[in-house]
Amino acid sequence: MPAVTFKNVNFKYRVQSQATLHDVSFAFDYGEKIIIAGPSGSGKTTIGHLINGLIPQSFPGNLDGQILVNDQDVSKLDIFNLSFAVATVLQDTDAQFVGMTVAEDVSFLLENENIDHQTLLKKTNHWLTELNLQSVKNHHPQELSGGQKQRVSMAGVLSSDSKILLFDEPLANLDPAAGRAAIQLISQLQKKLNLTVIIIEHRLEEALKIQADKLVIVSRGKIIANDTPDRVLQSGVVSQVGLREPLYLTALKKAGFDLSLEKHLTDLSSLNQELVSKKISNWLNTQISVKKPNPGQLILSIKNLFFSYPKQSVFKDFNLDFYAGQITAIVGKNGSGKSTFSNLVTGFLKQDSGQIFFDGQSLDSLSVKERADKIGYVLQNPNQMISQNIVFDEVAYGLKLREVNPEEIKTRVRRVLKISGLDSMRHWPVSALSFGQKKRVTIASVLVLEPQILLLDEPTAGQDYLNYRSIMNFVASLNREHHTSIIVITHDMHLMLEYADRALALVDGKILADDRPAVLLSNLELLKEASLAPTSLYNLARFSQVDPIKLSERLVESEADL
């Protein structure tokens, strides 16, 4: 009997007019590893909610067809009974942290089962050990890294002894190295405890490392593919539905390699090395000359900066320069000073000593508001920035507060809305927009103040490929056509590789590397130190015995041609 079965499932949320799932059928067997992938709004999360019982408990709607978990019809089980069968790790690891400390959070489920105190302590202890959390068991959630938080979430649901483990976008909030570690850990646990693992994720390059048994592709509420990853990748359906396929496959395709003949695309070493090598080398020779614009003048300069929090020093004699017209990516693991850096530049925090110069002028005497006219800062979560109901008002807000005259406000806002592709939506309520559109509204509302530098914090975190493209192409066009200098803080190696002119690795308050993105991504030692990970292009370059830097840059160039 299969672990999870869907038979002709249709589902419509009560609050929506259109059905989200159409005639979905599949069966997952015990002990399998399954990846469910699809673009935003494809229905993949809905499938997850149907498996773990959040539908209909939290999201009511109309369901027909049959869903069986452990051979039991879920319509006869409530969420509590279902949670014995399926253990769910939610995407937002912060939100699911219910306990005050790690140990309490891990024991939360056992507490709710009213298990006697001795057994509770014993079991909690067991799972703390199993997930390597003993050393942090008395820590608060704020003191943990992303990877640790995720391990806590896993321990907290595995204690139910469920055999089916469901992950909702496990990689979204992790830095690349932590993402790899998470995939490895899931794989180990799966083997050791003989679990059925279902991962909902759109980042295939990283997720496929788990060596899944099945890759299910969902698009517009329908199952488009349900087969071994090898066969799904071979069919080319991944890029057709707007997902990003692993980079090495894109490179192979561009080099003219025929993927449809290969049986084991997930395993690079199964390919004909000689042929791959030849194709890739030829492709690299077609490289158009690297035409990097020279960096402009010095625009932002940080000199001898010192900053520490009450208990922790972050920057000691920190120096960094930015040049006009560049897109600079700042990467590095969580807690290495990236947010502190942006808070110092925007004036949210005050440095202990040292100075920050903008265009030769010291920023020290300027208020947060005055700095914002020069350096626009866009927070990661658009919901933290938006305070007006209507798109136009939201973008106009900063100008109104600066008491610009209404006529000028109108022209300036319309101009920015046109650049942002939002002009036709200017009378819409902000709440009707998608995440990507909201993000654009927040960028527009900062842009309207005409800053020379745009500072973006994780602009694409948790976004699927289409949203990612739309946000970043917009940012790149600002850079290209309006000469806005861009500083992006990111975990996304693809973003850095594809859009940045310059990459900075910031680790523990120090700049470890300052180079072209492709160069930085080829330095394995550095990547390890910065909690980053090489992309699959690196492996392809090794396999075909070419320079990984050249290969990365060639791929970016070919994508830009499109």
Partner 1 sequence: MNNNSFNLAYRDRGTWLDRASGATKLLAFIFLSGISMIVLDTRFLIFLVILSLIVLKISRVKFSEVSFLIKLVVFFMIINLLMIYVLAPGYGAQLYHSKDIIFGSGPYALTKQELLYLVNISLEYFVAVPLALIFLLTTNPSEFASGLNRIGISYKISYAVSLALRYIPDVTKEYQQISLSQQARGNEISKKAGFFKRLRGAAAILVPLLLSSIDRIESVSQAMELRRFGAKKKRSWYFAEQLKAVDWLVLFIVLLIMIGGVILLVVNGGRFWNPFIH
Q: Say how far apart CA 67 and CA 51 lie, in whole Å.
A: 8
Would you say 64 and 221 are in contact if contact means Cβ atoms under 8 Å apart?
no
From the CB of 54, what's the least distance to partner 1, in Å? 6
In the complex with partner 1, the residue whose CB is nearer, 124 or 340, is 124
In the complex with partner 1, the residue whose CB is nearer, 100 or 524, is 100
Helix (H), strand (E) at residue 215: strand 214-219
From the CB of 231, what's the least distance to partner 1, in Å? 33
How many residues does this entry show for the chain?
Answer: 562
In the complex with partner 1, the residue whose CB is nearer, 353 or 384, is 384
Would you say 555 and 543 are in contact if contact means Cβ atoms under 8 Å apart?
no
In the complex with partner 1, the residue whose CB is nearer, 413 or 530, is 413
In the complex with partner 1, the residue whose CB is nearer, 401 or 560, is 401
Residue linked to tokens 């979204």: 172
Q: Which residues, at least 6 apart from 258, have a Cβ–Cβ distance to it below 8 Å?
A: none
Would you say 40 and 243 are in contact if contact means Cβ atoms under 8 Å apart?
no
From the CB of 377, what's the least distance to partner 1, in Å? 6
From the CB of 169, what's the least distance to partner 1, in Å? 13
Residue linked to tokens 């819409």: 428
- What is the 8-class DSSP label of residue 390? B
From the CB of 280, what's the least distance to partner 1, in Å? 45
Three-state secondary structure string covering 420-442: CCCHHHCCCEHHHCCHHHHHHHH
> Taking Cα atoms as reference points, which of 208, 248, 246, 249 lies closest to residue 229?
208
In the complex with partner 1, the residue whose CB is nearer, 95 or 261, is 95
In the complex with partner 1, the residue whose CB is nearer, 38 or 398, is 398
> Taking Cα atoms as reference points, which of 502, 377, 546, 534 lies closest to residue 451?
377
Q: Say how far apart CA 231 and CA 214 lie, in whole Å.
A: 10
Strands (E), 14-80: 21-28, 33-37, 61-69, 72-73
> Taking Cα atoms as reference points, which of 217, 223, 232, 227 lies closest to residue 265?
232
In the complex with partner 1, the residue whose CB is nearer, 436 or 517, is 436
From the CB of 12, what's the least distance to partner 1, in Å? 20
Helix (H), strand (E) at residue 408: helix 406-419
From the CB of 56, what's the least distance to partner 1, in Å? 12
The type of residue at 367 is: S
DSSP letters, 471-517, are: HHHHHHHHHHHH--EEEEE-S-HHHHHHH-SEEEEEETTEEEEEE-H
Burial class (CB in 10 A: 0-12, 13-18, 19+), 557: middle
Q: Which residues, at least 6 apart from 334, have a Cβ–Cβ distance to it below 8 Å?
A: 145, 146, 175, 531
In the complex with partner 1, the residue whose CB is nearer, 374 or 516, is 374
From the CB of 115, what's the least distance to partner 1, in Å? 6
From the CB of 474, what's the least distance to partner 1, in Å? 20
In the complex with partner 1, the residue whose CB is nearer, 137 or 510, is 137
Token couple for 162: 């469920």
Q: Which residues, at least 6 apart from 114, have a Cβ–Cβ distance to it below 8 Å?
A: none
Q: Which residues contribute to the site for partner 1 (CB under 8 A)? A: 52-54, 57-58, 79-80, 83, 88, 90, 92, 94-101, 103-104, 107-117, 120-121, 124, 142, 156-157, 160, 343, 346, 348, 367-369, 371-372, 377, 379, 381, 383-388, 397-398, 401-402, 445-446, 449
From the CB of 107, what's the least distance to partner 1, in Å? 4
From the CB of 84, what's the least distance to partner 1, in Å? 8
From the CB of 162, what's the least distance to partner 1, in Å? 11
In the complex with partner 1, the residue whose CB is nearer, 260 or 309, is 309
What backbone torsions phi and psi does residue 38 show, to the nearest 5 degrees?
180, 160
From the CB of 398, what's the least distance to partner 1, in Å? 4
Bridge partners, residue 217, by sequence: 37, 225
In the complex with partner 1, the residue whose CB is nearer, 55 or 496, is 55
In the complex with partner 1, the residue whose CB is nearer, 87 or 540, is 87
Q: Say how far apart CA 278 and CA 545 lie, in whole Å.
A: 10
From the CB of 250, what's the least distance to partner 1, in Å? 34
Residue 444: CB atoms within 10 Å:
22
Would you say 30 and 165 are in contact if contact means Cβ atoms under 8 Å apart?
no
Helix intervals (H) in 91-145: 102-112, 117-130
In the complex with partner 1, the residue whose CB is nearer, 105 or 498, is 105
Token couple for 23: 């005639």
> Taking Cα atoms as reference points, which of 65, 24, 66, 67 lies closest to residue 220?
24
